[in-house]
Amino acid sequence: MRVAENIEMLEVYTNNHGRIHPVLAWDDENLVIIDTGYEDELDKIARTMVKELDFYLEDITKILLTHQDLDHIGGANGILENSEKARVAAHELEAPYIQNEKQPERTTPFEFNSGRWTEQLKESFQNPGSRSRSISVKVDELLKDGDVLPICGGIRVVHTPGHTVGHCAYFFEKSKIPPSS
């Protein structure tokens, strides 16, 4: 779905996790993806990118992560394997969780019981000994509230803690598009 000029929110239907909505933004030199879905959804994101926008994973130059949850970071390593240019950015407070240096500290009962969690994910949170996760994404750029990335007309980092300590959203300055998260 077109949000503004050079900003699209994809609607990707998945087998196991319902719908996800990664956002793509681009300019003459950059293709940015905000959040990457679960690891097993990346092929669907890639197909949707090609079908709707004629973009490929190898075109991505920046991965902006809103927070540590697996449905937001899971496909990042797959993108990095496909794109030599891609770099990952996330809020500085969230990076240790994304890089698997710290274990996830919470999940709300609403999230847990939403029907969107697989049995494997539920088990990992019910069994404290298994809470360490196997996915780790290297964060190349640490972001802070108010930072403006000089790409796609300016993307401002908006720190929105609550869901997670380092959760952030992104404001597209040129288009005046409110924060995406």
pLDDT of residue 118: 62
CA dihedral 81, 87, 89, 92 (to 10 degrees): 90
112 pLDDT exceeds 60?
no
Does the pLDDT at position 160 exceed 80? yes
47-53 mean pLDDT: 89
Kindly tell me if the per-residue pLDDT of 179 is higher than 90: no
Whose tokens are 């933004």? That residue is 25
Domain residue extents for the chain: 2-101+136-180
Single-letter residue type at 73? I
Q: How far apart are CA 104 and CA 91, in angstroms?
A: 15
Reported as type and span, the H/E element at residue 36 is none
Please give the pLDDT value at position 83.
94
The DSSP bridge partners found for residue 168 are 159
Measured CA to CA, the distance from residue 173 to residue 28 in angstroms comes to 17
Residue 124: per-residue pLDDT: 52
- In sequence order, the 6+-apart residues with CB closer than 8 A to the CB of 103 are 97, 131, 132, 133
Buried b (16+ CB within 10 A) or exposed e, 25-49: bbeeebbbbbbbbbbebbebbbebb
Residue range 79-103: mean pLDDT, rounded: 93
Fold of 2-101+136-180: Metallo-beta-lactamase; Chain A (3.60.15)
Task: Tell the burial category of 125 from Cβ atoms under 10 Å away from its Cβ (0-12, 13-18, 19+).
Answer: middle
Q: Is the pLDDT of residue 132 over 70?
A: no
- Does residue 166 surpass a pLDDT of 60? yes
Q: Which residue has the higher pLDDT, 113 or 40?
A: 40
- Residue 144 — very low, low, confident or very high, per pLDDT cuts 50/70/90? very high
User: Does the pLDDT value for residue 111 go beyond 60?
Assistant: no
* Mean pLDDT confidence for 68-77: 89
